[in-house]
Structure 1
């Protein structure tokens, strides 16, 4: 059996866990989103950088192809006749450092030096060649050992004659291939197995990577590749992830707060009550009331029991106060009225047979109970006497006496349940004019003892008799108690001495003289759930 504090604490703990988990998930999702976003952005930046470098170099070198038509006819012509034209062509191309004409493997004319007589293979060992070539090398004539990119166009089938154009690649690399730390720490231009590292000379082997990643893009127009190296998009994004933690924490806290408010109804005991009503998890029990003299059953008190498949048996002492706090007590009362009316055939069809239903005073306000009785009870024209048992949990002073008069007008009897334990007052006894006072079991248990409650019990009995109010003693468990109450003039007795609360469908067997069945839990004999 669970207490109200335990079950509410359990729900709050579960709700808090859900909110914390929601906040953690939001934090992790935010970090993951920021990580993926930054990683993708880094990848895009690397791709854009290499694309821009290749496209720019392509755009600067494409005019060199167009210049072939103008330069090829000059091969073999005397240098004095074409020198000026070579200089004009070199100046128009802008990126070209020098243009040279080669005949039979001899560089005989240069746009810078004019007449020359140097075997081309001494300057560039890869030349002459029978196929057009793009050569990354070092300058051996103008700027010694400085990087140079040479384009070779043969003009004869044997490749011994042709045109070379030396591109000022060092200047271009400083403009287009400059690293962008921390994403890009190194940029390399690779041509035919030779590599120009930004800020360094031409190398024959690619530099080894020190825990870095390399990304390459090749030109679609020329045989060169641009490579970039750096820590990698993923590693860089992870390195910057701590800077996203404040945002992620804010998102986690915000999500946690939203989850807390969103789960106020979905993860609360009031929701469990609503689910229980919808799933018909509540069962009706009843406890007989017997005449003090004849010991004949004169009525029953309808009790509500709840076997929650998620929590097990839940005591009325747990769910009734919570239902009152959450304004769900009226729904429970309507459920009891509906189920009781549906099973009225289980009770004697006698106008003197009392059927007591517990009602909270809050349900009576504004005529709500009267409307429910018209809709749910009186339509069935029940023969039995309906008794509304008001509990003293709420202040009965708030009950409108006019509603009491209306209930009396429709033949409903009013009983004050657990009399003496709540906000008892002679003034509201006069205002409400109850028909029945039910003496609380704590006073019944004091009978035969020297406790103060024993004297109070006799005072309550005397008060009821003086006001001509019928008395019902609850919690009668011994013959001594029953004898004393009988002698004091109490009309009706209720307690374990006569019957324990039983499922309503078992009442006919008990009434026929069978032994009252014990309270059941999971189809096994179990301690009684408090009424």
Structure 2
């Protein structure tokens, strides 16, 4: 069977493993939460940055669209008449580098140069065009090779007449396309397949991203898009994760600490006892009590055995003390009383046959045992004699002794179990006036071997006879012990010499086989020995 130390260590080990697992899960969840939170913040920042750049450029282009109503009527007018208005409009629209008028495909008037006579397709091969265009290119007339954004608005269906506006996009790009490292390492403005990369000018193709993440957002009003590149929200969040480790470890330790205390009851041996009661894992055994005079079985002591499917057989020496420490001895006793009453037909239907049930003195408090017996035993009107066997582990209060008198009035006999092993044996005799004394097996074993204990057992026998108390000797294992006890006048014997504890379902068969006239040897009756 399991030892108490082994079982308690097993449950502490389980609690420790559970607490460590909880702490590890808390650590992982905390880091995961911080990672997801950081990643989401990074992603939101990327989206916000890109959206802001798109909205800013939209706002810069919108006044140009609104100003077309002033410029388009000038197409076809002489440059002398239109020039002043062009210059004034260019000055009003601060992002404009130049405004030009085109007639029959010829750029004939500019807000900067005045009169001109240049085919517009020489400046921009895609112009003139019958539809509005936005072109990202480089300046070939004023500031050579500087990035510019051209807006073309035709005023005639064949596209030969129109207004051309040149935006100083390089100045704007310094304002809108500034990277924000480490999250955003590159920002691009893309217009009709051409790209303005901040610091690198206009490019036909974007350079490779080199394992960078790419995010792009297009304008809903104009044909351009802003794209950003960087290591990505996930990677940056992962890189930032070690800085979250102290907080995660603190949360992990706290969660594991809480788990350790929260499982003190649920992952303990006391909780296992509750589970065992609920699942009916406890089994009733009984050990016969034999009359020393005729070697007939006159009663049984009910014993509780526990086969725990999770731990195996657990000794009463393990679970009974733990049950007492955790105030579970009363539920165990109720279980024994209930099961004994339910299976009482297994025992002889004889008022002289007694059934002994072990009870802790703590169960007497506030009349608890008496109430349980009323509900579980007396109301079933059993024929057999009930014996309440008290141990000396706990102190006996005055109220408890009064309760024992109530039990005796109900016809219940009182026995003191393991007499002589406690600290207050004589006090118990004075308070309880018991009907039966059960001599502890340690004294029975000492018969013929230990002079001190042999003397003590003689004193106990003499005390019981003087007080007219029935005596039961426990732990009888040798024929010479039985002979000595009979010679000293002990009325009842109990031990392996007669029978080992057995499941109560086996008791009727044992009784039928063993309650027969005893064998004789050398003119002395000898008990039947169960192997």
TM norm structure 2: 0.92
Q: CA separation of 1:308/1:515 partners in 2, compared to 1, >3 Å: closer, same or farther? A: farther
Where does residue 187 of structure 1 map in the other structure?
Answer: 187
Partners of 2:199 and 2:515 lie apart in 1 by: 104
1:140 aligns with 2:124: no
Where does residue 266 of structure 2 map in the other structure?
Answer: 266
- Given that 1:396 and 1:423 are in contact with CA atoms closer than 8 Å, whether structure 2 keeps it comes out as no
Q: CA deviation at 1:258?
A: 2.8
Partners of 1:462 and 1:131 lie apart in 2 by: 128
Where does residue 208 of structure 2 map in the other structure?
Answer: 208
Partners of 1:355 and 1:159 lie apart in 2 by: 117
Mean Cα deviation higher: 80-89 or 192-201: 192-201
Where does residue 49 of structure 2 map in the other structure?
Answer: 49
1:351-407 CA distances to partner (integer Å, 9 max, x unpaired)? 221111000010012221112122221112222221111112223467732222222
Superposition RMSD on alpha carbons, in Å?
2.1
Where does residue 243 of structure 2 map in the other structure?
Answer: 243
Q: CA separation of 1:464/1:272 partners in 2, compared to 1, >3 Å: closer, same or farther? A: same
Partners of 1:329 and 1:209 lie apart in 2 by: 74
Where does residue 90 of structure 2 map in the other structure?
Answer: 90
Where does residue 524 of structure 1 map in the other structure?
Answer: none
Where does residue 485 of structure 1 map in the other structure?
Answer: 485
- Given that 1:218 and 1:226 are in contact with CA atoms closer than 8 Å, whether structure 2 keeps it comes out as yes
Where does residue 309 of structure 1 map in the other structure?
Answer: 309
Where does residue 529 of structure 2 map in the other structure?
Answer: none
1:178 aligns with 2:178: yes
1:147-187 CA distances to partner (integer Å, 9 max, x unpaired)? 21111223445544432101121222222222222211211
Partners of 1:337 and 1:219 lie apart in 2 by: 84
Where does residue 351 of structure 1 map in the other structure?
Answer: 351
Mean Cα deviation higher: 115-124 or 40-49: 115-124
Q: CA separation of 1:182/1:398 partners in 2, compared to 1, >3 Å: closer, same or farther? A: farther
1:463 aligns with 2:463: yes
Structure 2 alignment gaps of length 5 or more? 517-531
Where does residue 112 of structure 1 map in the other structure?
Answer: 112
1:36-435 → structure 2 map (5 Å cutoff)? 36-396=36-396, 400-435=400-435
- Given that 2:296 and 2:515 are in contact with CA atoms closer than 8 Å, whether structure 1 keeps it comes out as no
1:84-131 CA distances to partner (integer Å, 9 max, x unpaired)? 111122233332121012234433211122222334344334433444
Name segments (4+ residues, structure 1) moved above 6 Å: none
Where does residue 520 of structure 2 map in the other structure?
Answer: none
Partners of 2:366 and 2:450 lie apart in 1 by: 45
Partners of 1:321 and 1:36 lie apart in 2 by: 51
Partners of 2:75 and 2:155 lie apart in 1 by: 8
- Given that 1:350 and 1:384 are in contact with CA atoms closer than 8 Å, whether structure 2 keeps it comes out as yes
Where does residue 496 of structure 1 map in the other structure?
Answer: 496
Partners of 1:309 and 1:399 lie apart in 2 by: 40
SS of match in other structure, 1:116: strand
Partners of 1:375 and 1:132 lie apart in 2 by: 99
SS of match in other structure, 1:298: strand
- Given that 1:389 and 1:416 are in contact with CA atoms closer than 8 Å, whether structure 2 keeps it comes out as yes
- Given that 1:75 and 1:103 are in contact with CA atoms closer than 8 Å, whether structure 2 keeps it comes out as yes
Structure 1 alignment gaps of length 5 or more? 517-531
Q: CA deviation at 1:248?
A: 2.0
SS of match in other structure, 1:513: helix
Where does residue 24 of structure 1 map in the other structure?
Answer: 24
Partners of 2:154 and 2:411 lie apart in 1 by: 121
- Given that 2:419 and 2:425 are in contact with CA atoms closer than 8 Å, whether structure 1 keeps it comes out as no
- Given that 2:392 and 2:425 are in contact with CA atoms closer than 8 Å, whether structure 1 keeps it comes out as no
Partners of 2:123 and 2:432 lie apart in 1 by: 122
SS of match in other structure, 2:97: strand
Partners of 1:41 and 1:398 lie apart in 2 by: 72
Partners of 2:243 and 2:450 lie apart in 1 by: 75
- Given that 1:401 and 1:431 are in contact with CA atoms closer than 8 Å, whether structure 2 keeps it comes out as yes
Q: CA deviation at 1:194?
A: 2.4
Partners of 1:237 and 1:181 lie apart in 2 by: 14
- Given that 1:31 and 1:241 are in contact with CA atoms closer than 8 Å, whether structure 2 keeps it comes out as yes
- Given that 1:194 and 1:204 are in contact with CA atoms closer than 8 Å, whether structure 2 keeps it comes out as yes
- Given that 2:102 and 2:160 are in contact with CA atoms closer than 8 Å, whether structure 1 keeps it comes out as yes
Mean Cα deviation higher: 498-507 or 174-183: 174-183
Partners of 2:397 and 2:153 lie apart in 1 by: 111
Q: CA deviation at 1:412?
A: 1.7
- Given that 1:361 and 1:399 are in contact with CA atoms closer than 8 Å, whether structure 2 keeps it comes out as no
Mean Cα deviation higher: 46-55 or 352-361: 46-55
Partners of 1:298 and 1:347 lie apart in 2 by: 10
- Given that 2:297 and 2:515 are in contact with CA atoms closer than 8 Å, whether structure 1 keeps it comes out as no
Partners of 1:355 and 1:130 lie apart in 2 by: 114
1:457-478 CA distances to partner (integer Å, 9 max, x unpaired)? 2222222223322211111111
Q: CA deviation at 1:488?
A: 1.1
1:20-66 CA distances to partner (integer Å, 9 max, x unpaired)? 21121122112112212221222222122212212221232133334
- Given that 1:215 and 1:227 are in contact with CA atoms closer than 8 Å, whether structure 2 keeps it comes out as yes
Mean Cα deviation higher: 7-16 or 190-199: 190-199
Q: CA deviation at 1:497?
A: 0.9
Partners of 2:367 and 2:314 lie apart in 1 by: 30
